[in-house]
Amino acid sequence: MRLARVEEVDRVFGHLELEVLRDNGEVKAFFKVTHGARFIELTVNGRPYWEVPYVASRICGACSIAHYVASIRAVERALGLDAGEWVEDFRDAVNMVQIAQNHLVHLAFLALPDYVGVQGLSDLKSRAGRLVVNSMKLNTACLKVIRLIAGRIVNPNTLGVGGLLRRPFKGPLLKAADYLRECEALAKEVVDEALTLLKVPELKDPANNCVAVKPRKIYLTTGDEILTSAGLSFKPSNYREHLEEMQPEYSNSKAVALSGAPVHVGARARYELLRNYLRDLNVPKIDLSNPFSNLIIKAAEIPYCVTAAKEILEDLAMRTADTGVDPPRDGGEGEGVGVVEAPRGLLIHHYVVSGKRIVNANIITPTEINARHIEASAKALTESLVSDGRPLNAGELQRKLTMLVRAYDPCLPCAVHVSVVRGRKHA
């Protein structure tokens, strides 16, 4: 008996279908990605290794920098290159700005309407006009910074395998830092107002284990170690021992389990695992085990990213720029895994390089990792709203379910980068 079905979940990146049904007494949720497969891993196969970042950054326009940085780090590890401190910091700074920008867009335009009781964006203005205008200003400022230092908002072109492709000028770095300084106050204001509006519903996380990247320096910088909520920590290169991927038939995207159980990644996971790397993420008292709290943490991360990126950029401007190493013309042999904290959570790029070419590629995106966890939370949410087999109020259940999915901020184009689709459409 079908309890709830949303054919086309709105206000998410890409096409998604959600279905919850009761199957002989047991509630089951299905996270069906109906977005067309994009075979990114196949495209990369056989290309020269220095072209990987160009393909990877085109997986999705929202967080193209995260994919760009992750794929570059993966290829660098495969070829045994070290881009140097300066370049690593530069990449972190750019990544943080993109995280802030992504969170902004998600909170202000995709998630907020649920919490202000309006349907679409147009009437959002009447309810949260000031917040929308401020977030738009902030969004433009972030995009200006990204364009200034990454070359372009989408498909950046200042970074390359082995470091920067061109000697950076001190001017743009300082200018970027100024832009960020101007909108620090704005960021705080946006976050405070968002937090007042975000009254998240109650929900207990059924499988509260999560994964995140241990930062090299401060919170949200990339690193070479992955932490799990079970206290485990492993090297990215042997991610396969802990995270195994499977392909549900009903969805175009794969699903990931951490040693068998559903796992979630994203702001909530980061906050839980990396709290001691934090300085001042002033998060109000919330129940971390509630999946909806992911929104709260995302909101809090915005001002943090803006300030942190500003500081890194100012520091970079002062230090003498070392633009990294030139990649070997005829490539090399090796295998590398690059990880990064994308706005929506842990992102893993894994490439095998032989000679000049890529022979094998595997990408795991945050939405893939969250897939099973979303199903678990949806199941828990439905059970809490259903008594003796029938939903108390069908409309409310459906609304709550879509709010839950939006809390994870799934990015479907990234999720369907898979090489082979074995699943069939659910009958």
Q: Which residues bind another protein (CB under 8 A)?
A: 47-48, 51, 54-55, 147, 151-152, 157-158, 160, 164-166
Question: In terms of CB distance, is 162 or 223 closer to another protein?
Answer: 162
Question: In terms of CB distance, is 59 or 397 closer to another protein?
Answer: 59
Helix (H, G, I), strand (E, B) or coil at 275: helix
CA atoms within 13 A of residue 272's CA, in its CB half-sphere = 25
CB of 295 to another protein, least distance (A): 34
Nearest residue to 71 (alpha-carbon basis) of 61, 58, 62: 58
CB of 55 to another protein, least distance (A): 7
Burial class (CB in 10 A: 0-12, 13-18, 19+), 260: exposed
CB of 206 to another protein, least distance (A): 44
Question: Which residues does 299 contact at the CB level (< 8 Å), separation at least 6?
Answer: 103, 107, 191, 194, 195, 198
CB 158, CB 151: distance < 8 Å:
yes
Question: In terms of CB distance, is 324 or 413 closer to another protein?
Answer: 324
Quickly tell me which residue has 């074995």 as its tokens: 422
Burial class (CB in 10 A: 0-12, 13-18, 19+), 290: buried
Determine the Cα–Cα distance for residues 216 and 391; give it in Å rounded to an integer: 47
CB of 68 to another protein, least distance (A): 11
Question: In terms of CB distance, is 147 or 379 closer to another protein?
Answer: 147
Question: In terms of CB distance, is 63 or 72 closer to another protein?
Answer: 72
Question: In terms of CB distance, is 160 or 366 closer to another protein?
Answer: 160
CB of 125 to another protein, least distance (A): 30
Quickly tell me which residue has 């326009």 as its tokens: 61
Question: In terms of CB distance, is 157 or 398 closer to another protein?
Answer: 157
Question: In terms of CB distance, is 147 or 217 closer to another protein?
Answer: 147
CB of 363 to another protein, least distance (A): 18
Question: In terms of CB distance, is 15 or 147 closer to another protein?
Answer: 147
CB of 70 to another protein, least distance (A): 17
CB 263, CB 207: distance < 8 Å:
yes
CB 210, CB 369: distance < 8 Å:
no
CB of 320 to another protein, least distance (A): 18
Determine the Cα–Cα distance for residues 173 and 70; give it in Å rounded to an integer: 22
Q: What is the crossing angle of helices 170-197 and 293-318, to 10°?
A: 160
Q: How many CB atoms lie within 10 A of CB 204?
A: 13
Count the helices and strands in the chain (H runs, E runs): 12, 16
CB of 160 to another protein, least distance (A): 6
